[in-house]
Amino acid sequence: MRRRDFLLGMGSIVAGQALCSHASCATSRGCRLAAGGSDAPEYLNESGYGAIFDGACHSYADELNSMFGVRPALRFYDDTGSKNAFADPDARYPEGPDGTVVLGITLLGQFRNPNEIWLGREIDVLIAHEFGHILQYKRRTRDCWETEPHADFMAGWAIAHWHSKPPEFGKYGPRDMYEFNGGDQIVSEAETMFSYGDVEFNSPTHHGEPHYRAAMVRAGYDAGSMDVDHAFSTGQKWAHMNA
């Protein structure tokens, strides 16, 4: 995608989304649970796909903790029949004072390559999106639909911020040798990921259309040089949130 085409397309998308910026808010929306919510599933305490894959998830979560300045617990659950991943504001585990990031095993399985140790770019975006919600909880952002594209923006920012650091060879297995072509690639891979999922994960009323979500990830990626505070406020403007 050429940058000019991206900017022109993004302008028309944002103009349409601005009409929804004053929509009423709900207590539980998309992949973002309300505090004290009773609809949280029974979490699988530790395991998703075994020690290697789960270890990669936790290593990446540690990187996100550092970038976002948050400390949620990371858990997996059986999402058979309702593929999803979400952020829970409740501190259900001692190691997660800022809440819990919950990853559905079936959803992860759509993007996981069993022949690779590294997570895959789609899973990188998915997990970073949920950490964006955890940061929203910590900053007491009002609960509304626009938190979803805002979390997409923060996911793109995290990917760019992470790639700006010198690679540590071997830390993530084959990830260190993966060819990454920057923002255009992140748009393509994000849109592919967002085209999957059930009505909760992919519904326009919960998250937005895949091309809009991918455009928000790209906007966040282009903001990768910002610190987390500046990125957070810039993402609010892109998502038309009332800060």
pLDDT at 6: 33
Ranges 2-11, 15-24, 28-37, 133-142, most confident? 133-142
Burial class (CB in 10 A: 0-12, 13-18, 19+), 232: buried
pLDDT at 56: 86
Burial class (CB in 10 A: 0-12, 13-18, 19+), 13: middle
Residues 31-80 pLDDT 10s: 777 666 555 666 666 678 888 888 889 988 999 999 999 999 999 988 88
Handedness of CA 169, 172, 178, 183 (dihedral sign): negative
Q: Is the pLDDT of residue 234 over 50?
A: yes
Q: Is the pLDDT of residue 27 over 50?
A: no
**Structural domain includes residue 144:** yes
Of the candidates 110, 119, 109, 126, the residue with the CA atom closest to the CA atom of residue 213 = 126
29 phi/psi in degrees, rounded to 5 = -140, 130
Residues 129-187 pLDDT 10s: 999 999 999 999 988 889 989 999 999 999 888 777 666 655 554 454 455 555 666 66
Q: What is the 3-state secondary structure (H, E, C) of 158-205?
A: HHHHHHCCCCCCCCCHHHHHCCCCCHHHHHHHHHHHHCCCCHHHHCCC
Residues 84-97 pLDDT 10s: 889 999 998 999 99
What average pLDDT score do residues 190-197 get? 61
Report the distance separating Cα 191 and Cα 1, nearest Å: 12
**Structural domain includes residue 162:** yes
pLDDT at 201: 47
The two three-digit tokens of residue 87, written as one number? 């952020």
**Domain with 166 in it:** 3-21+28-238
120 close to 53: Cβ distance less than 8 angstroms = no
**Structural domain includes residue 243:** no
Report the distance separating Cα 135 and Cα 124, nearest Å: 17
pLDDT at 208: 59
Kindly report the average pLDDT of the chain as a whole number: 75
pLDDT at 33: 72
Number of domains in the chain: 1
Q: Is the pLDDT of residue 232 over 80?
A: yes
Report the distance separating Cα 82 and Cα 104, nearest Å: 9
183-194 vs 121-138: helix crossing angle, rounded to 10: 80
List of residues 6+ apart from 242 with CB closer than 8 A: 21, 142
Q: How many CB atoms lie within 10 A of CB 135?
A: 25
